[in-house]
Amino acid sequence: MARNNRKNKGSAPKQGHKLVWITLILIAVPFLLIFFVIQGSVLTQSTPVVGSRFGSNDLNPEISDDQISQIKDAVSSIDNVDSVTVNLKSATLRINMNMSDDADEATIKSAADEAYNKVDDICPINTYFTNSDDGKMYDLEINCFNYLVDDTHTSDGQIFIEITKTGAGKKQTDNMTTAKDEELVNEIQR
C-alpha cells in the first residue's frame, strides 16, 4: 500500500483579529485628539484670557495724564487747528488734528510736523517712542486733516497727512489721500 506522504498541515491561525484592532486604534486616535481639544475649549470658554503684552521693563518711563494734557494744549495752539483729540490706548499715543476746511496740503503737513516737534518737547522721541535694549516703548501717530468726508465735504478736496513713529521704526510721513502708486490705482479702477 502506498504511503500517504502528505503531512496534515494544521490550519494557520487567522490574522484577522489583529488587523481589526490595528484599524480600530488608527481610527480612534484622531477622534480622541479632537475630543480632548473640544473638551479643553469648552471647559475654558467662560474664563477670560488674562495677560499683558508688555514686560516689566516696557513702557518705562510712563506717559502721564499731565503730559497728555500738555500735548493737547500745545497742539491746540498751532495755527489753523479747529480741534484736537489726544488719547493713549494700547501703548499708542494718537493725536487727531482737525484743521480748517480750507487748509492746503502744505499747511496741513507743516502743522503735523509742528505737532511732532511739540510732542518731542514734552515727551522726547528718543526716550518715549524708541525701543531700548531693555524693553518696548510707545508708538506715536499724528493724524492731521482738513475735514472728514460727509454730505457737505467730498473726498476730492480732503487732505489727510499721517505721521507715524513706532518704537522699533523711524518717523514716517504719509499723505493718506494720495496714492503712492498711481499706475496700480489706474489698473484697479478700470
Q: What is the pLDDT of residues 10-63, one digit of tens each?
A: 566 666 788 888 999 999 999 999 999 999 888 888 777 777 788 888 999 999
Q: Give mean pLDDT, residues 172-181.
A: 90
Distance from chain centroid for Cα 147? 26
- Tell me, yes or no, if the pTM score tops 0.85: no
Nearest residue to 75 via CA among 50, 42, 59, 98: 98
Rounded Cα gap, residues 77 and 33, in angstroms: 63
Quick: pLDDT tens for 73-116: 999 999 999 999 999 998 999 999 999 989 999 999 999 999 99
Quick: pLDDT tens for 159-168: 999 999 999 9
Cell for 3? 504511503
Residue 171 CB-density burial (10 A; 0-12 exposed, 13-18 middle, 19+ buried)? middle
In 3-state terms the chain splits into helix, strand, coil percentages (rounded to 5) of: 40, 20, 45
Nearest residue to 85 via CA among 67, 102, 73, 101: 73
Q: Give mean pLDDT, residues 61-72.
A: 96
Q: Give mean pLDDT, residues 166-177.
A: 94
At residue 20, the pLDDT reads: 87
Quick: pLDDT tens for 123-161: 999 999 999 988 999 999 999 999 887 888 787 888 999
3-state secondary structure of 128: helix
SS3 for 177-190 is CCCCCHHHHHHHHC
The more confidently predicted of residues 72 and 3 is 72
Q: Is the pLDDT of residue 6 over 70?
A: no
3-state secondary structure of 39: helix
Q: Are 159 and 145 in contact (CB under 8 A)?
A: yes
